[in-house]
Amino acid sequence: MLACRCPRPGITTVRHTIAFLLLSLFVGAVAPAWAAGPEDLVRTMASDVTASVRSLPATGNGVNPQLTAIIERDLVPRFDFNRISQIAMGRNWLKASPAEQRQITSEFSHLLIRTYSNAINNLRDMDVVVRSTRSNGSDGDVTVRTQMVGRGSPSSIDYSLSNATGSWKVYDVQVEGISLVAAYRDEFTGLVSSDGVAGVIAALKKKNAR
């Protein structure tokens, strides 16, 4: 009964504590609901790739089957190549038949894997630090911002991810504000207007054959 005469400052403290607990629970509940997935994916992907690249002996540039194997194992399962191809084709995607769409996706992912296998060689003496995650409009997509630190000045790498297929997948990577997929879209638009959808497939096949 004595306890019921809680001194006033004590009550305020308890109230503040409760309010703080409520707030932290609320904030804590909202953030992991969407942030834990994509951010963890990027963090794990970056550390996997970095560790794999470092385990290889240093090599020069050019297509390296070991680097390609790392991409196949650590990156490909976490990328949505179907969506990447759709974005690269833009409105011309609908001009392609389902068979052509499959062909474009397969050839284009092959080209991207080759391109990335050259780029990840630089991860040997760099580390990826996750900076922040922000919602990307209303469609549930998010952008995970990271920074590559190590030699020289740090460079930003932003990953756009979507949960549309039920698991988080990367559909665009922006290095220092440059999206490789957007650059390909510019090329594909030109190829479609001069040689049609078949022109895109032919150009991709020619590039991959080299």
Partner 1 sequence: MTLCVKRLPLALLVSMALFGAPVQAAKKPAPAPVAVQAEAEPVILDPFEPVNRGVFFFNEVFDAVITTPVKFLYKTLLPDPLRRGIGNVFDNLDDVYIGVNHGLQGRGNLAGNDFARVLINTSIGLGGLFDVASDMGLAKGKGDYGVTLGVWGVGPGPYLVLPVLGVSTLRDTVGRGLRIASDPRTYLEPVPGYSLTGAEYVHVRSTNSATEDLISSSSLDKYRFTRSLFLQRREALINAAKQSN
**Interface ranges with partner 1 (CB under 8 A):** 1-4, 6, 10-11, 14, 18, 21-22, 25-26, 29-30, 33-34, 61, 83, 86-87, 89-91, 93-94, 111, 114-115, 118-119, 122, 139-141, 153-154, 162-164, 171, 174, 176-180, 182-191, 203-204, 207
CA distance 79 to 169: 5
> What secondary structure letter does DSSP report for 79?
B
- b vs e for 171-180, b when ≥16 Cβ sit within 10 Å of the residue's Cβ? bbbbeeeebb
Closer to partner 1 by Cβ: residue 10 or 77:
10
Question: What's the closest the beta carbon of residue 77 comes to partner 1, in angstroms?
Answer: 19
Question: What's the closest the beta carbon of residue 207 comes to partner 1, in angstroms?
Answer: 6
Closer to partner 1 by Cβ: residue 93 or 100:
93
Question: What's the closest the beta carbon of residue 205 comes to partner 1, in angstroms?
Answer: 11
Closer to partner 1 by Cβ: residue 18 or 51:
18
Question: What's the closest the beta carbon of residue 102 comes to partner 1, in angstroms?
Answer: 16
Number of other CB atoms surrounding residue 124 within 10 Å: 14
CA distance 85 to 101: 8
Percent helix / strand / coil, the chain, rounded to 5: 65, 20, 15
